[in-house]
Amino acid sequence: MTPDLFAALSVPVDEIEKLRNEIHRLDHAYYVLDAPVASDTHYDALMSRLRALEADHPEQITTDSPTQRVSGKAENAFTPIVHAQAMRSLDNAFSDDDVSAFWQRIVGLLPQAQPLFCAEPKLDGLAISLTYIKGILTQAATRGDGVSGEDVTNNVRTIRNIPLKLNSHNPPERIEIRGEVVMPRSAFEALNHRQRELGSKTFANPRNAAAGSLRQLDASITANRHLQFFAYAVGDLSEEGLKSQWQLLQTLRVWGFAVAVEGALVTGIEGLLDYWKKLGEQREQLAYDIDGVVYKLDNIEQQQQLGFTAKYPRWAIAHKFPAQEVWTKLLAIDIQVGRTGALTPVARLEPVAVGGVIVSNATLHNGDEIARKDIRIGDTVVVRRAGDVIPEVVGIVEQLRPDNALVFNMPDTCPVCDSVVIQEPDKSVHRCSGGLYCPAQKQRALEHFVSRKAMDISGLGGKVLEQLLQANLVNHPDDLYRLTYQQLLSCERMADKSATNLLNAIKKSKSTTLPRFIFALGIPEVGEVTAQSLARHFLTLDALMQASEEQLQAVNDVGVVVAMHVKRFFEQAHNQTVIAGLRAEGIHWAEVEVIKTPENSLFSGKTIVLTGTLSSMSRDDAKHLLTQAGAKVSGSVSAKTDVVIAGEAAGSKEDKARALGVSIWNEAEFLAALAPLNFANDKA
C-alpha cells in the first residue's frame, strides 16, 4: 500500500485494519525473516497514517495494533501469574556418557520404536510464556519457579519479533507459546557501551542484560534494548493436532514466530553427539549466546507415553557445552605494558576451567573498568571466555567479598621502565610516557622511527628490526646509527648488497628536517601536521623541548592533550638521553624557514580536509602548501570544517561534507586559490 491509496479507502475501520495487517507483514519480514520488503520511508508513512487514524478514532485502538507495542508502565512490582501448566526445567548431560545413558533409557522405554530426536540450540536467555486468546497476545509471564512467574506483558510487547497477532485465519481459542528471550551479542555490546558512556553499571553477560531489560518498570527502556524471542514449545499440544516437535517448530514459523534455524532431526547416539559437536563449532558465529543443545523425542505421542519425573520430562535432555562463565578467586592484579605504551591490568586467578581450558589470567581492560565494576583483590569474580577470546573478568560476587579485600589503583610510573604514566582527560587508557626508552615499546617505537614519513630508512622493516632486537644489537633509535657491516651480516637473509644498502640508507637519513625528526620521536598524538606546526612555531628543537604547556597550546593545532603529551615526553630524562645520542651520531637538519602567511591567502585560519587523489601533486605536498597558506589540515570532516578539497575517487568524507553543508572544492578550484600565493612546491 502506498500513501496515494489512502484516499481510496472511505471507511476508517477498513483502512485501519489494512494498515495493521500490512505493518504486521513488514515487521515479520524485517524482524523475523531478516528480509526487509519495504523502505524505512514507506514503513514510516504507514505507521504515521495509522497513528493519525487511531488518534481521530480512539475507540478503534486494539491491543494488537502496532502502535501499542510500547504502552504504559509496570506497577511497583510485577504481578505474580500461575502457569496453566508447569514450566519444567530439563535434566542436564555434561558428557558423552550422560547422553549415551539418556539414549539407552529412551530405547529401553520404547523397545518397538526407532526413536527420532529433534535437536535444537539451548538458548542462553530467559524463558517466557506467551498467552494468545483468539490469536491476540494477551499476557506474557516469566518462568519464575516453574509454577508461577511474573507478569511482564507490557515489556514483552515491545519485542519487535513477537507477533501481537498470530498469522492464522483460524487461530486456537487459547494457546500458550513458550520460548526464550535473548539479547543478541551486538545489542549487548552496544548497551554496555552506552552504560559506560553514562558512567552506569555494565552487564556481565547478555543473559543478565536480557533479564534486567524485561524487568524494567518503564517499557520504553525495554523497547530500546533490542531483545529477540525464539519460540520452541507450546503449553498444551493436545488440541492442535500436532504430531511431532519438528512439525510444531514449522507451525510456530507459520504463525509468525522466530525459531532457531540451527535445529535438526537426528537419530542414534552418533547423530546426537555429531549435532552437539557441529553446533559447538558454530557457536561463536551465532548472533546470540547458547550454552548447549536440547534433544527432544520428536514424536509427541511417544513424549506423552514417557511422561515426566517429579522434575524433568523423561523424553528430553540438555547437553551442556563446557562452561564459558565461572566463579573463582582474584589473587592479584599485575600490569602489562603493550607496544603502544598502554597499561593493561591483568587478573591473576585461582586456576579454573573455563570453556574447556584452564584459566589463571584474565584481562581487566583498564583502571576505569576496575573502578566501575568495583573489583578488589581477594574478591570472588565472574570470569568469562568465549571461543578464542581472551578470558575477561566481567564482574564480582559481592556477597562473597572478604573483609580484607584490597582496592586497586593504577600505578603512577611504568612497571617496566619507571617512566611517568599519563591518563588523558576523558579517556580510560593509562599510557607509559617512556616511548623511545621503554623496553616494552621499543619495537613499535623503532618501526615508527624508521618509517617513510619519519626518518625514511628503507630496507629496515619489521623482520630485520626484530632480529636486531633479539640479538641485542639495537635497543634505542640511536643504536641504529652505530650498526656495523658485520653485525648486519649476522641477520638472516642479509647479504653483502642488502647490508651495504641498509648502511647507506641509515647514513642518508642523518640529513633530515626538524618536522620529520619530531614526528619520528613517536610522541603520542603528534602526527605529521602537528610536527610541522611545532617546528615552525619554535624553530629549534631546544626551544620546543623547553616549552611549557601554556606555550605549547599557543601553537596552531595543539590543544590541552597534545601539549600534555609533548611536555611529559621531553621531561623524561631517558628520552633526553636518546635524543642527545641521535644528535651525537650526526642527525641534523637545516634551519626551519620562517613562513609568513600571505595576506591574500584564502586559506588563512581555515580548517581544510583533503580527500581523494589529486592529479597535480601528492597528498603530502598539498598538506604542505595548505600549511604554508595558513590553513589547519584535518583528517576528518566535522561541523568546524571550512572546506573539503575533493580529488578523484573521493569517498565518505565528501558525502559527510555535503550532509553538513561544508563547502566542497574540486582540484581546479584548489589550484586557483593557491595561484595568487606563488608558492614553490617544496617540502618542509
Burial of 539 (0-12, 13-18, 19+ CB in 10 A): middle
Beta bridge partners of 430: 343, 423
pLDDT at 681 over 50: no
Q: So what's the pLDDT on residue 88?
A: 85
The percent of residues in the chain predicted with pLDDT above 70, rounded, is: 92
* Residue that wins the pLDDT comparison between 56 and 353: 353
The reply to whether 176 and 272 lie within a common domain is yes
Closest CA to 276 of 427, 99, 18: 99
Three-class SS string for 196-237?
Answer: HHCCCCCCCCHHHHHHHHHCCCEHHHHHCCCCEEEEEEECCC
The reply to whether 215 and 106 lie within a common domain is yes
Q: How far apart are CA 271 and CA 497, in angstroms?
A: 63
122 is catalytic: yes
Edge-first strand order for the sheet with 126-133 is: 136-142, 126-133, 174-182, 228-234
Q: With a threshold of 0.85, does the pTM exceed it?
A: no
Tell me the CATH number at 53: 1.10.287.610
Burial of 164 (0-12, 13-18, 19+ CB in 10 A): buried
Burial of 183 (0-12, 13-18, 19+ CB in 10 A): buried
Taking only the tens place, the pLDDT of each residue in 524-583 is 889 888 898 899 889 999 999 999 999 998 887 788 888 998 998 999 888 999 999 999
Residue located via cell numbers 564459558:
324
Tell me the CATH number at 332: 2.40.50.140
Catalytic residue selected from 122, 296, 623, 653: 122
Q: How far apart are CA 441 and CA 341, in angstroms?
A: 6
Edge-first strand order for the sheet with 632-634 is: 632-634, 607-611, 643-646, 663-665
CB-hemisphere CA count at 13 Å for 428? 15
Q: How far apart are CA 202 and CA 275, in angstroms?
A: 34
**Radius of gyration of the CA atoms of the chain, in A:** 33
Name the domain count of the chain. Answer: 5
Asked if residue 234 belongs to a domain, the reply is yes
- Amino acid sitting at position 263: G
Label residue 593 by pLDDT band (50, 70, 90).
confident
DSSP H or E stretch at residue 622:
helix 619-628
The reply to whether 243 and 329 lie within a common domain is no
- Amino acid sitting at position 664: I
pLDDT at 9 over 60: no
How many helices (H) and strands (E) would you count in the chain? 24, 26
The reply to whether 145 and 211 lie within a common domain is yes
Tell me the CATH number at 647: 3.40.50.10190
Asked if residue 393 belongs to a domain, the reply is yes
Q: So what's the pLDDT on residue 36?
A: 66
- Domain final residue, candidates 296, 320, 344: 320
CB-hemisphere CA count at 13 Å for 294? 24
Asked if residue 252 belongs to a domain, the reply is yes
Closest CA to 328 of 267, 261, 375, 268: 375
Residue located via cell numbers 578539497:
645
The reply to whether 250 and 198 lie within a common domain is yes
The reply to whether 98 and 243 lie within a common domain is yes
Closest CA to 563 of 588, 599, 533: 533
- DSSP secondary structure letter of residue 524: T
Q: So what's the pLDDT on residue 477?
A: 93
Closest CA to 436 of 482, 474, 470, 488: 474
The reply to whether 339 and 382 lie within a common domain is yes
Q: What is the average per-residue pLDDT within 432-458?
A: 89
The reply to whether 158 and 293 lie within a common domain is yes
pLDDT at 328 over 80: yes
Q: So what's the pLDDT on residue 682?
A: 44
Asked if residue 682 belongs to a domain, the reply is no
The reply to whether 169 and 298 lie within a common domain is yes
Asked if residue 427 belongs to a domain, the reply is no
How far is CA 92 from each of CA 34, 288, 316, 320, 542, rounded to the nearest angstrom? Answer: 32, 21, 9, 7, 71
The reply to whether 64 and 132 lie within a common domain is no
- 372 is in which domain, residue-wise? 325-407
Is the separation of the CB atoms in 644 and 609 below 8 Å?
yes
The reply to whether 250 and 379 lie within a common domain is no
Asked if residue 275 belongs to a domain, the reply is yes
The reply to whether 155 and 180 lie within a common domain is yes
DSSP H or E stretch at residue 141:
strand 136-142
Asked if residue 670 belongs to a domain, the reply is yes
Asked if residue 431 belongs to a domain, the reply is no
Tell me the CATH number at 512: 1.10.150.20
- Domain final residue, candidates 290, 320, 350: 320
